[in-house]
Amino acid sequence: MNNNVDKVFNYIQEKISTKEWDIGDKIASEIPLAKELGVSRSVVREAIKGFVALKILSRVQGGGTYVNSVNSNIYFNDIIPDTSLGLSGFLEVFEVRKALDPLTISLAIKEGNTHLLSDLMLIVEKMKKCKDMNKKFYECVIKFHQKIADYSGNKLLIKLYEVMTQLTEVYIRRNISTIEYNEKIIDEHEKILKQVEEEDVEVAKLYSLLYVEKVLSKV
């Protein structure tokens, strides 16, 4: 993702965080935004897609784009300052995930919830079925890591992952992903799943870290 997309992303982020574009408001359309910011319409569209993926904005067919109701993601800039969907933002968030992914899975396993394993198994099976459909595939990847956070029992981690997984997986889908790469992602998640099944906290932490490092190695 180039600097122009970051420029538009940061502009929209500022409008929402200052409530110049408040909840329920229709935001400026693509053409005026492109003209104001001196970028192409496709660049504006790409930045807006990022906010739609984060569920901060929603598109209405033939009716424009609107700011969604309040949820934790709308104020993600209070949690992760100055983060965008560009390369720099991706690297910053994944550096945080290097520390948090092992912690989160260890907490989830220690909670001992019997539904964790079955939920993750279902998600991995869905990943296998849609490995050639990027959007659906990375929706599953997001759900996998969000589910682990949900079962950690830590409310702050849950909110952080709502933001971080969206930011990072959207970047991967648009800039790194291929069918061959998606197959490797499945393999990494099956390794994590196996350790959840065996309730091996230390090895699960290791595989969680290795997944993050392998993604970073592709950037």
- Examine residue 81 and state whether it is found in any structural domain, yes or no: no
What are the residues whose beta carbons fall under 8 Å from the beta carbon of 30, sequence distance 6 or more? Answer: 41, 44, 45, 48
Instruction: Evaluate whether 83 touches 166 at the Cβ level (below 8 Å).
Output: no
Instruction: Tell me the Ramachandran region of residue 19: left when phi exceeds 0, alpha when psi lies from -120 to 50, beta otherwise.
Output: left
| Lookup: tokens for 205 | 């932490």
pLDDT averaged per 10 residues, the chain (length 219): 71 82 90 93 84 80 81 49 60 84 92 88 96 86 92 87 74 75 92 94 93 83
Which pLDDT belongs to residue 3? 65
Domain C-terminal end among 41, 75, 109 = 75
Assign residue 107 the CATH number of its domain. 1.20.120.530
Cut 0.85: pTM above it: no
Residues 121 and 208 in one domain: yes
Residue 57 backbone phi and psi in degrees, to 5:
-115, 155
Domain boundary among the residues 75, 109, 137 is at 75
Asked whether residue 208 falls in the same domain as residue 142, the answer is: yes
The number of residues in the chain equals 219
Which one-letter amino acid corresponds to residue 140? Answer: C
Which of these three, 75, 109, 134, is where a domain ends?
Answer: 75
Looking at residue 15, its pLDDT comes to: 86
Q: What local confidence, expressed as pLDDT, does residue 8 receive?
A: 85
Alpha-carbon distance of 83 to 206, in angstroms, equals 27
Number of domains in the chain: 2
Q: Are residues 65 and 102 in the same domain?
A: no
Alpha-carbon separation of residue 94 from 62, 140, 182 (angstroms): 36, 18, 18
Q: Judge whether 189 and 212 are in contact, CB under 8 Å.
A: no
Number of helices (H) and strands (E) in the chain: give both, helices first.
10, 2
- Do 123 and 185 fall into the same domain? yes
Q: Is residue 171 included in any domain, yes or no?
A: yes
43 and 92 assigned to the same domain = no
Boundaries of domain holding 114: 86-217
Handedness of CA 95, 90, 182, 55 (dihedral sign): positive
Residue 202: per-residue pLDDT: 93
